[in-house]
Amino acid sequence: MRKTEAGVVGVNYGMLGDNLPPSNDVVSLLKSQNITKIRLFNPDIEALQALQNTGIEVILGTLNQDLQPLSANPSFALDWIQNNVIRFAKTIQFRSISAGNEVIPSDMQNYVLPAMKNIKMALDQATAAGLLASRIPVTTAVATSVLGNSFPPSQGEFSQEVGPVMGPITSFLAEKQSPLLVNVYPYFAYVNNQDAIPLSYALFNSEQVVVKDGENTYKYLFDAIVDAVYSALEKVGGGGQSVQIVVSESGWPSGGNVGDAAATVEYAKTYNNNLIKHVSGNSGTPKRPGKSIETYAFALFNENLKPPGTEQNFGLFYPNMTEVYPVYFT
């Protein structure tokens, strides 16, 4: 198997399990797999301490319930940054800070941009004190449920519900040259529309064009989803190269719901290994060709405190750190 471009593919380190290994052991596992980037959904201090001086880069998320105080109280944001970022800034390279995960659309969506602004202001204040924290991008992570239309990809646009929020967020990201984190799951698109979507299109196995969209052609559903979000960004002022997408989650379950013939070890193995090969190459997507796509596989472990079914079976590893199936990060 050909080598991936170094540093393109990371993994989500979720912690919704009561049987997960200690963070020091997890870091040893990451090193053994040549995984050099991870995403943390919240600032778990044990994990951050274990990651110090390892060279593993981190996307750090805020808890969704912290968005309201982060948005309303600059001093809360300053304390959050001081406690969770500044104290580790000399020993961990932070890829970005994510204000929440999949909050848009919801009744909390209006907290996201003010929280992002206060986090950015707190990072800038730290820089004034002599640290380089202002270089850390501030963003948020969205699911593709932000789209009101996604097909064909060129017609991708944000829904009316989220447009008033995503427009200003896109402007902020463009101004600060920060990426948008997007959770991309061909699995869910496939299982919800199996009559129209070939399995090979979802698994990166299609050898022929499945969707023709003007001059752009698509063999892989992943690319079509990413480009639909790029089209939506363009329609609210994030066109050109001004806002890049980082794929903050993508994966395939190895088991779960009764009757779900798509959730198998073999399909999960196929998807994740093909994902790594695809995003690590220089093909990009039809709308953004010629470069790799920073992507975070979902997820490191099967997590037994998530809802029963497929949600508990996205892990690359069991909690005892044996592999569910082989995944080749190098």
| Residue 280 identity (one-letter amino acid) | S
Q: Is 147 helix (H, G, I), strand (E, B) or coil?
A: strand
Residue with tokens 């870091």: 27
Annotation says 175 is catalytic? no
Cis bond before residue 22 (omega within 30° of 0): no
Torsion angles phi and psi, residue 249, rounded to 5: -150, 140
**Of 99, 125, 122, 121, nearest in space to 111 by CA:** 99
Distance, in Å, from the CA atom of 107 to the CA atom of 76, rounded to the nearest integer, reads: 21
Burial 196-233 (b: 16+ CB within 10 A, else e): ebebbbbbbebeeebbebeebebbbbbbbbbbbbbbbb
**102 catalytically annotated:** yes
> Which of the following is catalytic: 57, 161, 175, 249?
249
Q: Report how far residue 192's alpha carbon sits from residue 186's, in angstroms, rounded to the nearest whole number.
A: 10
Q: Which of 102, 157, 234, 294 is catalytic?
A: 102
Q: Which of 272, 282, 284 is nearest to 328 (CA)?
A: 272
Query: In angstroms, how far is CA 193 from the centroid of its own chain?
Result: 23
Cα–Cα nearest to 295, from 303, 285, 304? 285
**326's tokens:** 């082989």
Which residues are catalytic, by number?
102, 249
